[in-house]
A and B are shown apart, each in its own frame.
Chain A
């Protein structure tokens, strides 16, 4: 179950999306997220959907690879949907006991579910097509101006990329520890919530201990390879904008404009 989270896993393929400058992809993801939470109406919805499908298709990442990431947030999605379903005031459709379902509630719940799904799909395209190192490079370069006011941009970027690199390893490790504890009779499935949380302790303690040990080892390995912060570092893959990056920027802006226009003029229903 824990292996299903695809966030942070790079999927190697040879596509235009893979080759784009990470800054473009970061910008695109940001715009995409904003557009998700401000679109309204069928036309805007169609624009967003088309954009998403087009990007997924050009990325050459198998769709089922991304859907796997959705399973992990299923519960979050259900809870959000439930809250929207029961808590939105408005025209009552069904009511029983203290619950009542309103028309607005149904719409909101459906919208929220769609938004979350699109959010996960869209952001996982970024992580699936960009190596953590590229992502870090992109962030580092995009945020570099902040280092002038004393924010350690390079260090933050490095930490992020390492965290991303270790997600799959730690997940694998969690799986391993879980199986080891289960083999010795630990029960992670049954009992009420409190009991379940308590049963996580024998899972989390060894996981944390091993994560710290790994961190220590990794720090040493980095030092051994002459890592000494951002100063005097060169780049193997320096970021330079090319034609396709400018084209992508243009497309992202056009997309955003289209969503905004649909929101303003074609906001049926």
Chain B
């Protein structure tokens, strides 16, 4: 069994009126099956309201399933006594960097998680130093988070999660409020953690550019998992992606159009260099 496994996971948001009668039910997760192996880098793509954030909150036991089961490292998230352990195993980074930093000094914020789980003082200091180093923010340890850029704040938030030594980190649209530079910083940090520490990463996003280096991509729409596969497999289906209102990277669209007009370009081109290479090859053959 993988580190995260979902079986027929359903989550319904129930809206009630003042007397407690059910007004409407919206299904955010609709019988989702998921199996993530330890050490993988998974990207979850989806348009607004596709249920991707709801899924993320289940992995951290912030929400519990209406139906079905979700196991994190073999523990059922809906059992009350597992909650703290699950949150320790699967850390979570949220969208707004300002609303998840608790302390007014970077290192104190990174220490907040370990404090909560009762780590001894010396060990907290060691972990804080290690995790700030891992995200490349060690030299800002005495700074106030208010003076950092968005990307830096988000890296501090990641360090705060890393300090709890989770096996898995869920990043819920960590780049949605950042500029392109900040976005690159955060994604690079996530990849480094994945490569160097073997942390399982689940990156939730709607920027397609961020998923090209993932091991596996999951596309969600209206609470269902609609596509699963390697980035190349996913990006080779431009038409379907557009159906789910996802912005396909320009380079992939261009390659797709070229192929449709008869050029010999491989399906699912992800990077500019790839397309250039393919076109050069083509030019050599014909020319």
Decide if A and B are genuine partners.
Answer: yes
| Chain B residues in 8 Å Cβ range of A221 | 92, 94, 99-100, 102
Do A224 and B104 touch (CB < 8 A)? no
Do A236 and B128 touch (CB < 8 A)? yes
Of the stretches A53-61, A164-172, A254-262, the one at the interface is A164-172
Distance between A167 CB and nearest chain B CB, rounded to angstroms: 10
Query: Which residue in chain A gives the minimum CB-CB distance to B119?
Result: A234
Q: How many A-B residue pairs have CB under 8 A?
A: 100
Q: Is A237 an interface residue (CB 8 A)?
A: yes
Q: 1/0 per residue B125-156: CB within 8 Å of A?
A: 10010000000000000111010000000000
The 5 closest A-B pairs by CB, nearest first: A236-B111, A221-B100, A217-B99, A225-B113, A226-B116
| Chain B residues in 8 Å Cβ range of A28 | none
Do A234 and B120 touch (CB < 8 A)? yes
Query: Which residue in chain B gives the minimum CB-CB distance to A165?
Result: B104
| Chain A residues in 8 Å Cβ range of B100 | 217-218, 221
Partner pick for B98 among A169, A220, A228, A238, CB 8 A cutoff: A169
Distance between A149 CB and nearest chain B CB, rounded to angstroms: 26
Do A169 and B146 touch (CB < 8 A)? yes
Q: A12-B144, A226-B87 are in contact. List 9 more A-B contacts (CB 8 A).
A: A133-B103, A214-B98, A217-B94, A221-B100, A225-B112, A225-B160, A226-B116, A236-B115, A237-B111
Q: Is A148 an interface residue (CB 8 A)?
A: no
* Beta-carbon contacts under 8 Å, B148-186 to A: 160-161, 164
C-alpha gap A68/B85 in the complex (Å): 47
C-alpha gap A223/B62 in the complex (Å): 8
CB contact under 8 A between A218 and B108, given known A224-B87, A226-B87: no
Partner pick for A224 among B91, B105, B146, CB 8 A cutoff: B91
| Chain B residues in 8 Å Cβ range of A27 | none
Q: Is A35 an interface residue (CB 8 A)?
A: no
Do B99 and A233 touch (CB < 8 A)? no
Do B115 and A233 touch (CB < 8 A)? yes
Q: State which size class the interface on A falls in.
A: 20 to 34
Do B116 and A228 touch (CB < 8 A)? yes
Distance between A219 CB and nearest chain B CB, rounded to angstroms: 9
Q: 1/0 per residue A159-177: CB within 8 Å of B?
A: 0011011001100000000
CB contact under 8 A between A132 and B104, given known A225-B112, A236-B125: yes
Distance between B239 CB and nearest chain A CB, rounded to angstroms: 37
| Chain A residues in 8 Å Cβ range of B92 | 221, 224
Q: Is A10 an interface residue (CB 8 A)?
A: yes
| Chain B residues in 8 Å Cβ range of A133 | 103-105, 108
* Beta-carbon contacts under 8 Å, A109-164 to B: 131-133, 161-162, 164
Do B116 and A132 touch (CB < 8 A)? no
24 sample A-B contacts, Cβ–Cβ < 8 Å, listed by A number = A12-B144, A131-B104, A132-B103, A132-B104, A133-B104, A133-B108, A165-B102, A165-B103, A168-B146, A169-B146, A217-B99, A218-B100, A220-B57, A221-B99, A224-B92, A225-B91, A225-B116, A226-B164, A233-B116, A234-B115, A235-B115, A236-B107, A236-B111, A236-B121
